[in-house]
Amino acid sequence: MADRVLGGRYQVLDKVGTGGMATVYRGMDQVLGRTVAIKTMLPQYATDPSFAARFKQEAQAAAALNSPYIVSVYDWGKDGDTYYIIMEYLRGTDLKSGIRKHGALDCKKVAQIGSQIAQALSVAHNHDIIHRDIKPQNIMVQPDGNIKVMDFGIARAKNSHLTTDNSVLGTAHYVSPEQTQGKPLGPTTDLYSLGIVMYEAATGRVPFDGDNAVTVAMKQVTEQPVPPSQINPNVDPQLEAIILKCMQKDPKDRFQTADELYHTLHDYLAGRMQAVNNATAMLPAAATTPLAARGSNATQSMPRMQATGRMRPQSATEQAAQEEEERRKKQRRNRVLAVIGAIAGIALVVFLVVSVLGSGSKAYSVPNLLGLTQDEAAAMLDSDGHGFEIGEVTEQYSSTVEEGKIIEQTPGAGRTATEGSKIDIVVSKGEEPAASVTVPDLTNCTPSEAQDLLNKYGLKGQAGDSVYNADVEVGHVAEQEPAAGTSAKAGDTITYHLSQGAEQVSVPNVVGDSQSDATSALKSDGFSVNVVQSSSSSVEKGYVISSNPSAGTSADKGSTVTITVSTGPASVSVPNVVGYDESSAETALKNAGFGVSVTTETSSTVAKGKVISQSATSATSGSTITIVVSSGSGSSSNNTTGNEGNTSGGDHSGSSGTSGNH
């Protein structure tokens, strides 16, 4: 069981202890990160529908109780074949171990413990829940000295159908007389058990003991306890009176509510002894002899009169002494009554025997029909020759018994029934179909928020592998299966994946690549691409000059990388040389970084040797600019010199020519 995770949430650590029907482990709630106690039903009971129902009822009953003196129940469920309850993890020691180690406690401490238990019982009784197993082993004393009532393992709501079995449950040293006799139980049965717990805390020992549980249980019915002060002289009369009133055999003679007991103990702790005396007045005598030896007309001890004429409550010690004195007077009468009782008992037995024999009916042991089909059970009853028949047949769902098989029978197997009796059976309908629910959207939830939301829909949750997601905060749910909005069955498990944030990817080197090749490479690595253009005298037009982020840098997958693409060299302004003489124009253009090409033509308006026009006002740096130079008003030879030549015009009248330098 160790290291197993129940319900996809609760990790089982080490075993703490084992009880009558369950094992308790220390565990860890992986969602909330807190230590918890994990109570799991023992395997031999997990397949028994009645025990499974009891286990479920314990969880539901305890979860409804909210008190600082009751152990908190957080969750319960079933994982595979394991039923479990998640409870508050308590540190400390149980009261039984404390009494064994330290012996009797002082009166104030006994009253404080009793007061806190009474407050816990008040909460339970207000929810119509009777604990039925109050004992020091179920009282945890915490390091701060306060207590917690534990283990509602046999607690029952007053209206529960499970109370009809009349089984004697609990520990014999602490059970009430009515619990031993299988009578209906009320809140006062817990107060009786609490009285015994206080008795043991005050004296260091239980009031009734014996060789076996049956002997002890019978003493609960037939004997009165020795007053605590006769065992421990330090027990004062008021606390003794409170304890003995709790332990009255007749429930009507006890405190009637846990609140009433709590207020009396509170008065005791506050020193209001008159209030305690009033609350415990008219307490019946505490006989130390069996009740069975007392006649039905026995005189009850009465409180003594105070000097004022008012009734003074009689102490338990005085009552015991008076009872011993009266006992001798009653012995003779009790012998007579015992003889009469024996004669009456014999007569009753004779009557029953005659009745049974006279009716002609015989009694037989009822066979075990559990696990059989109805037809198989009927065939078994036909063949056993005892005349048993199938009676009322009902059906109910069962998660442990397959459909069509018998899960309950009345009378039970091994019970005695008269020949020809009918046996009522309950047949399994199989596992109850889970309700259909719509899967909620867990996106952006924290793990605890996701679990809470799934719980509202009757679903379970488990964390899967984490995933990259740039749009969801780290540690929050990014994905889930099944998807939100789909249909699932109550109890199904929804797997959710937490975000790791955006995935980091290294930017590839695309400098020098063509725009199309760079774009393709970036997109294949998961990036978006943004393109800007810029002139470059060193990078060919249409090719990448740079990227941002730069190559080798880590960036979020899905983020944008901007690439700068060359538009070729940049255009610059060409100096305006129109009207310059040829040599001045060439010098200005060359100084600006351009080459020069010269052509001539005649002009009647521009003086010979002056620039008539130029080929461009802007151009890329280093390109050639053509200038047209006037040859005067004569005919033009339209000669051209290269960018390294000079145009010379000689001072001629009439014709003119252009000659290049060689």
Of 122, 249, 136, give the one whose Cα is nearest residue 187.
122
Question: 10 Å Cβ neighbour count for 375?
Answer: 10
| C-alpha radius of gyration, the chain, whole number | 51
DSSP characters for 455-520?
HHTT-EEEE---B--TTS-TTSEEEEESPTT-EEETTPEEEEEEB--SPEEEPP--TTSBHHHHHH
Say if residues 476 and 489 touch (Cβ distance below 8 Å): no
Active site residue 581: no
State the Cα–Cα distance between residues 199 and 179, nearest whole angstrom: 19
Helix or strand run (H / E) with residue 63: helix 49-63
The 3-state DSSP class for residue 418 equals: strand
- Give strand pairing partners of 410: 424
Residues in the chain: 662
Q: What is the 8-class DSSP label of residue 247?
A: T
Alpha-carbon gap, residue 662 to 660, rounded angstroms: 6
Q: Nearest 5°: phi and psi at 158?
A: -60, -30
DSSP β-ladder status, 460-463 and 493-498 = parallel
Q: How far is the C-alpha of 284 from the C-alpha of 193, rounded, in Å?
A: 18
Instruction: Tell the burial category of 524 from Cβ atoms under 10 Å away from its Cβ (0-12, 13-18, 19+).
Output: exposed
Place of tokens 């259909």: 436
Nearest to 132 by CA among 54, 17, 77: 54
- Cα–Cα dist 316/245, whole Å: 10
Preceding omega of 482 cis (within 30 degrees of 0): yes
Question: Coil, strand or helix: which one is 359?
Answer: helix
Out of 133, 190, 513, 581, pick the active-site residue: 133
Burial of 179 (0-12, 13-18, 19+ CB in 10 A): buried
Q: Which residues on neighbouring strands pair with residue 597, listed in sequence order?
A: 626
- DSSP state string for 28-49: EETTTTEEEEEEEE-HHHHT-H
DSSP string covering 505-517, please?
A: EEPP--TTSBHHH
Question: Which residue, 118, 111, 104, is CA-closest to 268?
Answer: 111
Do 493 and 8 form a contact (C-beta atoms < 8 A)? Answer: yes
| Cβ-count burial 294-333 (b if 16+ within 10 Å, e if not) | beeebeebebeeeeeeeeebbbbbbbbebbeebbeebeee
Angle CA 494–500–501, to nearest 5: 120
Token reading at 238: 């008021």
Phi, psi of 368, rounded to the nearest 5 degrees: -85, 115
The answer on whether 39 is annotated among ligand-binding residues is: yes
Binding-site members are 39
Catalytic residues: 133
Binding-site members for ATP are 39
